[in-house]
Chain A
Amino acid sequence: MIDKEQQHKPETTSNLEHFSYDNVIVKNFAIATMFWGVAGMVVGLLVALQLANPIFNIGEQAWLTFGRLRPLHTNAVIFAFVGNGMFAGIYYSLPRLLKARMFSDLLGKIHFWGWQLIILSALITLPLGFTQGKEYAELEWPIDIAIAVIWVVFGLNMIMTMIKRRERHLYVAIWFYIATFVTVAVLHIVNSLALPLSLFNSYSVFAGVQDALVQWWYGHNAVAFFLTTPYLGLMYYFVPKAANRPVYSYRLSIIHFWSLIFIYIWAGPHHLLYTSLPDWAQSLGTVFSVMLIAPSWGGMLNGLLTLRGVWDKVRTEPVLKFMVVALTAYGMATFEGPMLSFKNVNAITHYTDWTIAHVHVGALGWNGFLTFGMLYWLFPKMYRTKLHSLKLANVHFWLGTLGIVFYVIPMYWAGLTQSLMWKDFTPEGFLKYPNFLETVTQIIHMYELRAFGGLLYVIGALVAVYNYYMTAASGSLLKEEEASAPALQGGHKIKRWHEWIEARPIQMTIFSLIAISIGGLVEFLPTYFVKSNTPTISTVQPYTPLELKGRDIYIREGCYLCHSQMIRPFRSETERYGDYSKSGEFVYDHPFQWGSKRTGPDLARVGGKYPDSWHYNHMLDPGSMSPGSIMPSYPWLLDDDISVDDVPAQIALMRNLGVPYEEGYEDKAVADLDKQADEITESLLNDGSETEPRKEIVALIAYLQRLGIDAGKASSVPLK
């Protein structure tokens, strides 16, 4: 049925209900957005400088190194900046679209403060090295649980508001919000499944290729359902509002929504092209990724065409300027995504800075600019005043736009340059640049330019903060915005508790979600507590206790952020790194450490390549072994001791996860650890480096020297 415009129908005013919208929660989320946004961007600038010059790993402090700050940067901009931005936009638009105040002020407050506490805990734990070692899912298990709880609070508040709505039609933006809530909940829970060893240490229940698949199913859909769908919802609300034009085609927006969510969830494997993932799964990812261009561009064009007839306003109105660039960036990123999912293109771009450029078109352009545009519209609106300075908003616009340009072009250039150098052969058939470092020093200036682009963007954001603040200071916040609307005619009166579940599928969605989660857990958790059913290579053995400790350090220091452990089946890679990687090599890797970027060389077969003393000196001062290296120094590894108290528990935990340590090995584990550590210490001493067996460096060397060794022993055996 068609809802009539209530205010134009005087006969309905008899049952008019009066209520108000809460602007305080919107204001809080908006402030948090900019606060954490600037923080996340500043950390981003710092890690960009660290790549340009390792001296920016300030004071050789563990917590200030790239490997620990890079997860902080990604988590801050994704979950703190975009997260709070999404909530600000939803808490503003949702009640207005539904003509109902948000369901509960209390739930809103719990949501707000809970989310800020989660961010704060990330800010503390990530630099301390507490990490699960999976990109964008680094936070340890207690924080993961907190995220799940707060996410449900948010969803409950949103869905209860829908139940008591006064507008029957659910505007398209709301559908995007619902999809965000449901899907992120499922993704987060599945990918975070881990067995804890202690309060801040846990191991993924999945291993190797399985873990990789789950991680990138999550990783890709985090982009889809955390960075894209909620912002598309915001776009469908704020672009028409700012332009004062209805969306170009409402029908297209509906098609956009349904096709996007049905396709997006299958595209994850495109992050694992040419890896040990089965070929058919890779093809599945490619096919769906290519299909994604249709809904994505449909949505992008729908947004841009909304501005038909008001393009003159785009010249003068900062809100629209930001939104136009945001939509254009969305179009660029969603064109690039399917292209990068073609295997032949991916072969060139993967592991290079091209990927970094790609994600920053999305993050800086789409998410950043849409957030800024939305806030330029919201602050004057909520504070009942004019924007403090149009001129400053324009300054911000150009700083931001130039920042993006200076960021992404050098990164595209760097990515392509490095990839071509990796693949370059001499006429005699040898690698032209056999030393990986040559391909790094070649692009250092690009890293410098990128940092400059980042600096421009940060300055722009600071100008925006000032402008927002002055706008707020010149007006006064309308805390409660009065509104009135007639009650929904023919709406269901809630009589029995289960009636509202059955009456409407939205509620069904929640209960289905809970049902899925329980069903899913019951169904597949046991398979991970029994022996892994992945085909194994007979010579691939579990890690020794010392190697496990070394692996913990590898994960803690974020080595996977710059080093892959996955050799693709290309001659340029097998020549450089050794035989290509097989899935059977990773069956004991909880979590997998394949990485997604090669700022440094692949390490899948680094074991035995260098003497122990090389690693010792290299960790102490990478420049001493590789002049010009941009890797930070890790002097604390030489000073700090590993803790052996939890070795038995760690062995038992790994056995629970399916790693075949024999019964009772716990009791012998520490002795084994000491024996192996003594051997390495002695080999180091013979080369003139004196250390103690229990130092972290010894464990790390043990792990690095093990990498790729086992499969090599089976080289005469056909491998699958």
Chain B
Amino acid sequence: MSAIIVLIGISLVVALVFLGVFIWSVKSNQYEDTYTPSIRILFEDDDRQRTATQTGDDEQS
């Protein structure tokens, strides 16, 4: 069953890469604030050019 060793190896490497990225994300304060990013995405686009589209606008006016 050499394939399973290979697959576990590759899966582990992928997992370790993600673990590394996770540690980076925590260390670089990506998750310092776990609230405002969710609000910010609602405001990020083109307020100046906003026209009355069908969705999503009635709440803001």
Interface positions of A (Cβ within 8 A of B): 1-3, 5, 7, 96-97, 99, 167, 169-172, 175, 178-179, 182-183, 186, 190, 206, 209-211, 213-214, 217, 237, 240-247, 250-251, 253-254, 258, 261-262, 265-266, 268, 278, 281, 310, 317, 319, 376-377, 380-381, 384-387, 390, 478, 481-483, 504-506, 508-509, 512-513, 516, 519-520, 523-524, 527, 533-534
Contact = CB atoms under 8 A, between A and B. Distances in A.
B44 A96 contact: yes
A516 B7 contact: no
B39 to A, nearest CB: 5
Nearest to A93: B41
7 contacts: A1-B29, A182-B17, A385-B53, A483-B45, A504-B24, A509-B21, A520-B10
A2 B33 contact: yes
Given A250-B35, A509-B17, A509-B21, A278 B6 contact: no
Given A186-B10, A190-B7, A209-B1, 6 more contacts: A209-B3, A241-B42, A265-B14, A386-B54, A523-B6, A524-B6
Given A179-B18, A481-B49, A520-B9, A5 B40 contact: yes
A481 B46 contact: yes
Contacts of A523: 6, 9
Interface in B9-55: 9-11, 13-15, 17-22, 24-25, 29-49, 51-55
Contacts of A245: 42
A710 B33 CA distance: 64
Given A170-B25, A386-B53, A482 B46 contact: yes
Interface residues of B, number: 50
A581 B15 CA distance: 33
Name A's interface SS: helix
A569 B35 CA distance: 53
Contacts of A386: 52-54
Contacts of A261: 18
A380 B53 contact: yes
A210 to B, nearest CB: 3
B17 A265 contact: no
Contacts of A483: 45-46
A250 B18 contact: no
Contact of B41 (A171, A175, A190, A387): A171
Nearest to A252: B34
Contacts of B35: 250-251
Contacts of A310: 59
CB-based closest 4 A-B pairs: A210-B3, A246-B38, A505-B24, A250-B38
B14 A183 contact: yes
A217 B14 CA distance: 13
A186 B53 CA distance: 41
Contacts of B47: 7
Given A169-B37, A281-B4, A524-B2, A5 B17 contact: no
Given A170-B25, A170-B30, A190 B10 contact: yes
Given A244-B42, A520-B9, A169 B3 contact: no
A182 B16 CA distance: 13
A2 B42 contact: no
A439 B37 CA distance: 55
B29 to A, nearest CB: 5
Nearest to B53: A380
Contact of A244 (B2, B13, B37, B60): B60
Contacts of B24: 504-505
B17 A240 contact: no
A505 B51 contact: no
A382 to B, nearest CB: 10
A99 B40 CA distance: 11
Contacts of A210: 1-4
A506 B42 contact: no
A516 B18 contact: no
Contacts of A186: 10, 14
A214 B1 CA distance: 11
Nearest to B35: A250
Given A246-B39, A261-B18, A384 B51 contact: yes
A23 to B, nearest CB: 11
Nearest to A206: B3
